[in-house]
Structures are given as structure tokens and as C-alpha cells.
Amino acid sequence: MQHNLNLKNIPDGFFLRMSNLRYLNLSETKLRKLPRDVKCLVNLQYPNISRTEISVLPSEMINLQDLQFLICQHLWWDHITPDGLVSKLLNLQVLDIYPNGEIKLKELNTMKENIKALGLCVTSLNVLQQLSELPTWHICLERLYDLVSLSYDVLSCKSNGFLQELIICSCSQLDEIVMNGIGTDLRHLDLGHLQNLKNIVWKDVAPQRFFCNLQLLTINECRKLSSLSWVMHLPSLTELSVQVCEGIKELFTGGGWRNSAVSEAPSFPRLRSLTLEHSPNLVSMSNQALDFPLLCSFPIFNCPNLKRLAFKPDIVNKEFVQIHCVKRVVGEIGVGR
């Protein structure tokens, strides 16, 4: 039933004779609600309603005591689970309501014993303080207005290696993010609307080792960041998007990470897409020519002072498609040094 955009309604009574159903995938449909007779699915273990238009789960789901997974990713609503529902699903092991769904602190505390994977949105410092005791794998930190400094190692209890997707947005006082711990399996990092963010601090760890699996990086409206040199040697990075970063004049300052051996390694070994948008003070990508062995897409939007792209002369590879400029990029653009 998944991936069916014509599916908008499940009539009452549809589930009455499906008591043996264990797996139900309704993701990427236009459903707005589940019928109350979902309570008849007493053997259901895995329901997935991700990317639907469902606003709240029926309270009758409390009868589904065999439920082990509850997957509700990318729904628009904050409180998809009725109060008390999650804590009463005693066999629940995986709950994913990322990136918009929230859970109250009291319910989180009751989940610590049985939950094995958790995805959620965090809008409370009290909830943030509990993450180090929870097996989080998808997190959105949003509207934490009193948060000034954030350490990566407090975001999951599983030695940091469990977290796969992280969004940090609209935390207006956040000044620094400290990358620490033993490493991570993070695949997707999105930093957005962090107006006061000045520093990303690396504490006794090299970026290319810490983020060895990071594939997608988006940085949007981080107006006080001055450089992104730490991304140059990330071994798995395929997509990089930098938008509305007015504090950046040179995108990749110096030779990248401070270790000289790393600095001499090829830059951006797997990057396929680089997007630069609305950064009016950006003058240069780098003061040295850079490797982009797999780059195939490079759109530039409204970066009027960009003059140096810092590509090596052999940038045109078999897969390179185009540099696409929207709104004039002024000055004489240099390819390398």
C-alpha cells in the first residue's frame, strides 16, 4: 500500500478481520487518519506511516501490545502520539517520529529500559539532557533558545556511533558546537538558522575520522561562521550545500585540517554536488587549488563577489556536467591559484 498517492482514506471496518497482520506499510500516501478499528490488529509488530498527512495516532493503538516498531518519519505535526500512548506500549523497541515529532519528558523516562532506537524532535533543554541515556539515531534540535554550547557526545547513549541524522536549527544563542567522543556513523548533518554560531570545535579528534561516513552536509543561515575548512577531507561526503553564510569570505581557508599529512591528501574525494547560495561576502573558495575528482554539479546563486573558484586545471572529469550561475557572479573568476 506504500508509495500510493491516490490512497487518501481507509474506511471504517477495513482492519476488522486482519488480526494476524504483523507488517503494515502506509508510507508516502495521502492518508489523513487511521480508522479506529486499527485496534483489531492485535498481532501487528511494524506499522509505518512516514510521509503521510496523518496528524495524530488513534488512542486505540494502546491495544497493540505486540507492537515493536512505530515508524512515523517526516510528518508535519509535533504531537503525533497521544499522551501516554508510547509509555503503555510495553514491547516497543523502535520509535521514530523524526524530525517533527516530540515526546514529553515523563514518557521518555519510562522508555529507557526497553527502547533500542529513537528518532525525535527536541525543543526542551530538559529533554536534551536525557539524550545521553537514550539510543537516539535521528535527532532534530529545534528552538532551544537558551542553548549556548553543545557537545556532540551528549546526543546518544550508544558511544556516539549510533546517531545517523542530525538537524540543529533555530537555536538563536548557540555559539559553538564541540565535536567530541570516539567517532560517529552520522550520514546527514543539517545546521540551519543558527544566527550566533561562530565555532565548530574539534576536541582531540580529526574531522575525517570523526565524520568518516558523513554523506550530506547542509549549512544554512549560519551568518557568523567564517570558514568550512574542516569539510575538505571528509572521505564520504557527496553533497555540500552552503546558503546565506554572510560571514564567510573564503570558504575553505588554508589547507583544511591542521595535520599536514591530511592537508596533502586529495580534497573532496567523493563530492558530487556543491551548492553556494546567497553569500554576498564570499570572495574565494580557497587560497589554493583544490581537487574535486567526482564533482558533477556546481550551482551558484547570488554570490556577487565570488572571484576565485580554486579548481585545479584538470577539474573537468568524465562526470562533470556544469557550473550553473544564477544572478551575475562579478569579477574575473580564476580557476586555480
Q: Would you give per-residue pLDDT tens digits along the chain (337 residues)?
A: 899 999 999 999 999 999 999 999 999 999 999 999 999 999 999 999 999 999 999 999 999 999 999 999 999 998 999 999 999 999 999 999 999 999 999 999 999 989 999 999 999 999 999 999 999 999 999 999 999 999 999 999 875 568 999 999 999 999 999 999 877 899 999 999 999 999 999 998 999 999 999 999 999 999 999 999 999 999 999 999 999 999 999 999 865 455 544 556 789 999 999 999 999 999 999 988 888 889 999 999 999 999 888 887 766 555 665 666 765 554 445 555 4
pTM of the predicted model, to two decimals?
Answer: 0.92
Cβ atoms within 10 Å of 327's Cβ, excluding its own = 12
Q: What is the pLDDT of residue 329?
A: 52
Q: What is the pLDDT of residue 261?
A: 46
CA distance 173 to 197: 8
| Cell numbers for 37 | 478499528
Strands 216-220 and 239-243: parallel
Q: What is the pLDDT of residue 288?
A: 87
Q: How deeply is 89 buried, as exposed, middle or buried, from its count of CB atoms within 10 A (0-12, 13-18, 19+)?
A: buried
Q: What is the pLDDT of residue 310?
A: 82
The pair phi, psi for residue 309, each rounded to 5°, is: -90, -20
Q: Which residues contact 266 (CB under 8 A, 6 or more apart)?
A: 291, 293
Q: What is the pLDDT of residue 337?
A: 45
Q: What is the pLDDT of residue 35?
A: 96
Distances in whole angstroms, Cα of residue 9 to Cα of each of 31, 44, 186, 272:
6, 20, 36, 40
Count of residues in the chain: 337
CA distance 196 to 263: 29
For cell 488513534, name the residue.
58
CB-side neighbour CA atoms (13 Å) of 259: 13
Q: What is the pLDDT of residue 332?
A: 45
The pair phi, psi for residue 34, each rounded to 5°, is: -100, 140
DSSP state of 251: E
CA distance 282 to 305: 6
Element (H or E) spanning 107, and its range? helix 105-111
Could you check whether the bond before residue 235 is cis, i.e. omega within 30 degrees of 0?
Answer: no
Could you check whether the bond before residue 99 is cis, i.e. omega within 30 degrees of 0?
Answer: yes
Find the Cα–Cα–Cα–Cα dihedral 256, 257, 263, 266, rounded to 10°.
-70
Q: Which residues contact 112 (CB under 8 A, 6 or more apart)?
A: 133, 134
CA distance 119 to 144: 17
Nearest to 141 by CA among 161, 127, 121, 159: 121
Q: Report whether 75 contacts 97 (CB < 8 A).
A: yes
CA distance 19 to 53: 25
